[in-house]
A and B are shown apart, each in its own frame.
Chain A
Amino acid sequence: QSVLTQPLSASGTPGQRVTISCSGSTSNVGSNYVYWYQQFPGMAPKLLIYKNNQWPSGVPGRFSGSKSGTSASLAISGLRSEDEADYYCAAWDDNLQGPVFGGGTRLSVL
C-alpha cells in the first residue's frame, strides 16, 4: 500500500490531454514539493517534473505539473505513442523522514 495514491491506469488517444492524479496528506504533498517520474519497461525512472511544476532540461513542455493542498496532478497534452510508460509521483514525508512514492500509473495511448 503506497503512501501516495495514484490511479492504476490512464489512457488517451494521440493528441489528447491526459491527467494523472496524486493524493497525499499534510505531511507529504501538503507541505513539500511533488516530483514526477517517467519509467519505461526495463529502464530506470527519469525525472519529469520537480518542485511541483518545474521542468528539467530536455523535458518537453507537453508535460506539466500542478499542486493544490494535498493533491497534485501531472498533465500530458498532445499525447504521443511514445508517452506510453509508468508515471510515479513522490514527495518528502515529514513524519516518515524520507521520500514516499505513489504506486504508479500505467499510461496507455490507444
Chain B
Amino acid sequence: QVQLVESGGGLVKPGGSLRVSCAASGFNFADYQMSWIRQAPGKGLEWVSKIDSTGSIIFQADSVKGRFSISRDNAKKSLHLQMSNLRVDDTAVYYCARDGSYNLWDLSDYWGQGTLVTVSS
C-alpha cells in the first residue's frame, strides 16, 4: 500500500532554516509528481510546492518563492523541502502528498501524516 512518511520537523527560530523529508513506499515513486501542502494550526490547507516525476518542473506558491526549495531523489524514493529564512507564519504541519502520474494539473491522492514545523523565538 502507498505510504508516505515525513520527518525533519521541529522548532526553529525566525530567519532560520530547516529541511523536511518524505520517504515513499508501496508505489513506483519515479512515476509520480509530488507536492508539499501545509496546514497552520486551526487553519485550512495551503499548497506549498510541486515537482514533476523527473524533478525538472517545479511549481511554488508565491508565499514561499525564493525561500523554499523542493527536490526529490528517485533512487532513494524520497522527497525534500529545504526551507530557509523561515517566518512565524510558516508554522504549520507540512504534508507530503502524491499527485498524478500523467498531468501536471492532477491533484493529490495520498497524503502522509505530516510533520510539524514551529517557527518561534
Contacts and interface: CB of A to CB of B under 8 A. Distances in A.
Contact of A104 (B45, B59, B109): B45
A98 B111 contact: no
Interface residues of B, number: 23
Interface stretch (A11-19, A43-51, A60-68): A43-51
Contacts of B114: 44
B47 interface: yes
Nearest to A86: B44
A88 B45 CA distance: 8
Contacts of B44: 2, 88, 101-104
B59 to A, nearest CB: 5
Interface of A: 2, 32-33, 35, 37, 43-47, 50, 56, 88, 90-92, 96-104
Closest 7 CB pairs between A and B? A92-B105, A44-B111, A104-B44, A99-B47, A101-B45, A35-B107, A103-B44
